[in-house]
């Protein structure tokens, strides 16, 4: 019998697995479709504690992977496609059935992308979906932010701490962001807005982004020279399989209080339940809490 089954292999998942195993529990971690999660497509990480020099996102996650193995975690390369949390033990269905006394959900969330030419090609080389992750690399540069909601305006304002110029590109003539954010945007001299315009293509020199191809609502094409592009049209939590098993909010994120979900014995950590910060260190900390909560739950019910 698995004591703690961890779903997901990002910072939250690996940390939960490590702490659970060190507590003497039988821990299995199911990696999901992308082992290492979103950090594997982050070229450089400079703000994760304990690394004096920059480290590649993929390398960081490989180290977490090996650390989990070293601590006795059983890692399974599989994807869970269905769950049953009404049964005891809890059931997860992938290529086979997994049964566990407690579960830590760390399936994360992924950025929504535009799906335009060049976007994937230059991801990590000028295209990003996280200003707090990558804004530092665009000091004194010109960057574009694509979107019109709270996320886009917050990203644009954050980027003014580093970039020389920030251009917000929005397909409509009004923003959906809160009024206070819109006011701050208008008052910031580093920010300009291009209205009623869609981004058609991300262009570069095969090494980095150089410009964007745009078209406005009157079908007039144009180009905008930029050094970086931040896509800020929202995130999608990987929680669809929990829809009828756990309480989710209106955006699909798992409702959790100190990692405890609506079902006793099921815990959640990371971007699947906490969309605000999207930082590896925050996810890892939550993974630790989830493992400690799971261990306490097991102790009480033993």
What is the tens place of the pLDDT at every residue in 102-158? 999 999 988 889 999 999 999 989 999 988 888 999 999 999 999 999 889 989 999
Please tell me which residue in 92, 130, 203, 288 is annotated as part of the active site. Answer: 130
Please tell me which residue in 3, 78, 134, 295 is annotated as part of the active site. Answer: 134
CA–CA separation, 298 vs 265, rounded Å? 8
Instruction: Please tell me whether the peptide bond between 261 and the residue prior to it is cis, using omega within 30 degrees of 0.
Output: no
Coil, strand or helix: which one is 231? strand
pLDDT score recorded for residue 132: 80
Please tell me which residue in 92, 133, 273, 288 is annotated as part of the active site. Answer: 133
> Which domains does the chain carry?
2-110+235-301 (3.50.50.60), 113-231 (3.50.50.60)
Q: Is 134 a catalytic residue?
A: yes
Residue 15 has pLDDT above 80, yes or no: yes
Q: Is 130 a catalytic residue?
A: yes
- Report residue 299 as tokens: 């102790």
The DSSP element (H or E) to which 228 belongs, if any, is: strand 228-231
CA–CA separation, 126 vs 139, rounded Å? 13
pLDDT score recorded for residue 302: 81
Residue 74 has pLDDT above 70, yes or no: yes
Q: Is 133 a catalytic residue?
A: yes
Is residue 224 a contact partner of residue 194, using CB atoms and an 8 Å limit?
Answer: yes
CA–CA separation, 101 vs 254, rounded Å? 20
Q: How confident is the model at residue 43 (pLDDT cuts 50, 70, 90)?
A: low
Torsion of CA 269, 28, 280, 184, to 10 degrees: -30
Q: What's the burial of 135, exposed, middle or buried (CB within 10 Å: 0-12/13-18/19+)?
A: buried
Q: Point out which residues pair with 74 in neighbouring strands.
A: 28
Is residue 27 a contact partner of residue 2, using CB atoms and an 8 Å limit?
Answer: yes
Q: Name the residue among 194, 124, 184 with its Cα closest to residue 155.
A: 184
b/e per residue 215-241 (b: at least 16 CB within 10 A)? beeeeeeeebebbbbbbbbbbebbbeb
Is residue 126 a contact partner of residue 44, using CB atoms and an 8 Å limit?
Answer: no
pLDDT score recorded for residue 65: 97
pTM for the whole structure: 0.77
pLDDT score recorded for residue 85: 97
What does the mean pLDDT of the chain come to?
94
Q: DSSP of 41-89, one letter per residue?
A: G-S-B--STT-SS-B-HHHHHHHHHHHHHHTT-EEE-----EEE-SSSS
Place of tokens 């406005």: 216
- Report residue 215 as tokens: 């078209």
């Amino acid at each position: 019998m698995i004591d703690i089954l961890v779903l997901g292999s990002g910072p939250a998942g690996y940390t939960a697995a490590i702490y659970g195993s060190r507590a003497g529990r039988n821990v299995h971690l199911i990696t999901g479709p992308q082992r290492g999660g979103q950090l594997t497509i982050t070229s450089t990480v400079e703000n994760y504690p304990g690394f004096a020099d920059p480290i590649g996102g993929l390398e960081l996650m490989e180290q977490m992977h090996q650390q989990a193995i070293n601590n006795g975690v059983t890692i399974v390369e599989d994807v869970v496609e269905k769950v049953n949390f009404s049964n005891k033990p809890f059931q997860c269905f992938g290529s086979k059935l997994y049964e566990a006394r407690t579960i830590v959900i760390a399936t994360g969330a992924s950025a929504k992308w535009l799906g335009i030419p060049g976007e994937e090609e230059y991801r990590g080389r000028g295209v990003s979906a996280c200003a707090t992750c990558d804004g530092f690399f665009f000091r004194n540069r010109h960057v574009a932010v694509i979107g019109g909601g709270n996320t886009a305006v917050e990203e644009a304002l954050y980027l003014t701490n580093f970039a020389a110029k920030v251009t917000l590109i929005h397909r409509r003539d009004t923003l959906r962001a809160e009024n206070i954010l819109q006011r701050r945007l208008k008052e910031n001299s580093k920010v300009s807005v291009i209205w009623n315009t869609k981004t058609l293509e991300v262009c570069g020199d095969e090494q980095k982004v150089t410009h964007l191809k745009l078209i406005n609502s009157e079908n007039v094409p144009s180009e905008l020279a930029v050094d970086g592009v931040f896509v800020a049209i929202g995130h999608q939590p990987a929680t669809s399989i929990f829809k009828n098993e756990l309480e989710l909010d209106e955006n699909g994120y798992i409702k959790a209080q100190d990692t405890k979900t609506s079902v006793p014995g099921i815990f959640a950590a990371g971007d699947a339940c906490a969309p605000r910060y999207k930082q590896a260190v925050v996810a890892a900390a939550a993974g630790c809490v989830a493992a400690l909560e799971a261990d306490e739950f097991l102790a009480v019910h033993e």
